[in-house]
Homo-oligomer: A and B are copies of this chain.
Amino acid sequence: MPVKAIKTDSAVKPRSDLALANLRRRILSGAIAPGALLAESAMARELGVSRVPVREALFALEREGLVVFSDTGRAFVRQLSPRDFEELLQLRLTLEPMAARLAAAQIQPHLHALRTNIAATRRARSLAEVTRLDLEFHELILTASGNGRLLKLWRSMRGELELWLGRLHRQHQGQRLDTCEQTACAHEGLLKPFSSHNASLSESKMREHILNWREWLPLQSGQ
């Protein structure tokens, strides 16, 4: 055993991860407005790190869809139009039913996590929490599909979804607090065809579920 004392495994937090988490949180919470400039120097100063990790974080955020770069290399908080949201929905309507079909055959090991998620949804105390759990439920299905790339594609859209939903909720505070139970029920309904390993029914139910979900949303508003 080395004299050097205990090796703490690692637990070394890269500063770029710190910057990433910080910026992501502030963008999703709306603390940084859509369209705002994310200057490397300013962010670095705020976070007490150098520009290099900030730079990496910005690239990562671009991949998540939360940030866009101008042609001169400046980073801005992503702005979304209703059109953007429709595009995302179109993709969900293709990818998620596919995931549901694939997942039906091998859902067993994931059932516990799914049920836990539904229970947590019922106990959720805020719209933001319901949204997070909702997306998590869907991501669990994507995971269960067994197609790693499919999951990756979904994750690359998740940031944009959260961005849009967060802004939507902030514009309609207090409304639709019943979403909690509705979401839980809808997800429970999805679980049935999964449990019986019915692939084609899982697929069509998922498509229907996403279409319904779309109807619930207040669709107006821009940015």
Starting from the known contacts A90-B102, A153-B156, 9 additional A-B residue pairs (CB-CB under 8 Å) come to A56-B59, A63-B63, A84-B149, A87-B147, A87-B150, A90-B150, A91-B149, A94-B94, A156-B156
Complex contacts, A91 vs chain B, CB 8 Å: 147, 149-150, 153
B-contact bits for A89-114, CB 8 A (1 contact / 0 none): 01100110010001000000000000
Which residue of chain B is the closest to A55 with respect to CB atoms?
B56
Q: Provide the bound-state CA to CA distance between A59 and B88, in Å.
A: 25
- Residue pairs across A and B with Cβ atoms less than 8 A apart, 18 shown, are A56-B59, A59-B59, A84-B149, A87-B148, A87-B149, A87-B150, A90-B98, A90-B102, A90-B150, A91-B149, A91-B150, A94-B94, A94-B95, A94-B98, A149-B157, A153-B153, A153-B156, A156-B156
B-contact bits for A55-82, CB 8 A (1 contact / 0 none): 0100100010000000000000000000
Complex contacts, A157 vs chain B, CB 8 Å: 149
Complex contacts, A59 vs chain B, CB 8 Å: 56, 59
Q: Provide the bound-state CA to CA distance between A130 and B90, in Å.
A: 31
Q: Which residues in chain A, 152-189, are within 8 Å of chain B measured between CB atoms?
A: 153, 156-157
Task: Give chain B nearest CB distance to A94 CB in angstroms.
Answer: 5
Task: Give chain B nearest CB distance to A134 CB in angstroms.
Answer: 20
Interface centre among A102, A150, A153 (most CB of B within 10 A): A153
Which residue of chain B is the closest to A90 with respect to CB atoms?
B147
Task: Give chain B nearest CB distance to A200 CB in angstroms.
Answer: 15
Which residue of chain B is the closest to A95 with respect to CB atoms?
B94
Which residue of chain B is the closest to A153 with respect to CB atoms?
B153
Which residue of chain B is the closest to A154 with respect to CB atoms?
B153
Which residue of chain B is the closest to A97 with respect to CB atoms?
B94
Q: Provide the bound-state CA to CA distance between A147 and B157, in Å.
A: 13
Those 10 A-B pairs whose CB atoms lie nearest each other, nearest first: A87-B149, A94-B98, A87-B147, A153-B153, A94-B94, A59-B59, A91-B149, A90-B147, A63-B63, A91-B150
